[in-house]
Amino acid sequence: MKLFNRNLNQKLNKNCNKFLICLVMFVLTGILTNSAPITYKEPDRIAYDIDARVFIDIKQINKSVTQYMEPIQGGLVPHHHVAHSMIGEFYETLEKEVDLIMLIGPNHSGKGSRYQAVGSSYMTHYGQVLPSSLFGQLLSDDDVVKADEVMLRGEHSVGIHMNFIKAYYENTPVLTLLVHETGGIHGVDRFVEKIKHLIGEKNVIIIGSVDFSHDLSLENANQKDQLTKEILRNKSYKRLFSLNNDYMDSPTTAYLTIMLLKEMGFEHQVLLKEGNSALILNRPSMKATTSYLVYGYGK
């Protein structure tokens, strides 16, 4: 009987404890609900692959007028860290007093929708690069989705430029678009018109992040580059879509960039610089090189 009573008391105590815990939780919930709303703070959105190997000495930056008759309003520039000095020289030539920077680059993974807008900020050596408020409006286009955060962690085509953008442009917002090569030229001109309408009268620079011939010997790369330069020199821009990775890694990036600049009235084309990883690294016998063509567009 004593054993029975002890077990009964233990069960009653256990049930009583459960009741008290539930009562306390109920009371606390009521207090919290009545005293202040529970809010959710969105974490900082930091995207990821700025190339830590590329460090710009901000004290050495020349923000004076470009050597050309008119400022360059945008163009094509590499995203390979080996060409970092060429990238820096490109930023030296650009118009500096702008409302917005649009950065277009290839989605090397090829995953997801053809057009992906980046809504994340980037942390650089000099602080945070913030996305443009136009990001949301760009997403209203049925062909554009928000860029996948996992993919962004390894996408150097735009990441490498963030250090340069922050160093040269401080607090200017950036509208970043990633593209990949599906569908050829189909629908691209319509998309150019959409972006031009979105930009409106803002003073914008357009940066197309493109590397040219890939994984070829220096001799073969030079041959491929000659054809690419001929296409660009003749302004036969639709022919870019006939080129594969032997010639360039993103015809869509190049075409979008050039057509947007043309729509804005910047058609004068200058080949600012050209090079190859084999020459920069002083390894002319390299079997797999990358070539770089830097084009600027102005009036």
What is the per-residue pLDDT across 255-285, written as a single tens digit (0 to 9) for each? 999 999 999 999 999 999 999 999 999 999 9
Residue in the structure block whose two tokens are 């233990």: 10
* Distance of alpha carbon 14 from alpha carbon 156, whole angstroms: 59
Q: Phi, psi (5° rounding) for residue 184?
A: 60, -140
Residue in the structure block whose two tokens are 């650009």: 94
Pairing of strands 100-106, 174-179: parallel
* Distance of alpha carbon 192 from alpha carbon 222, whole angstroms: 31
Nearest to 209 by CA among 171, 178, 242, 167: 178
Nearest to 133 by CA among 198, 201, 47: 198
pLDDT of residue 232: 98
pLDDT of residue 70: 67
* Distance of alpha carbon 173 from alpha carbon 207, whole angstroms: 13
pLDDT of residue 254: 97
Strands (E), the chain: 46-47, 74-77, 100-106, 115-118, 121-124, 127-129, 144-146, 174-179, 204-209, 214-216, 268-276, 289-298
Q: Pick out the chain residues at pLDDT < 50.
A: 2-8, 11-12, 21, 23-49, 52-53, 64-66, 69
What is the per-residue pLDDT across 285-296, written as a single tens digit (0 to 9) for each? 999 999 999 999
pLDDT of residue 104: 96
pTM: 0.80
* Distance of alpha carbon 24 from alpha carbon 122, whole angstroms: 44
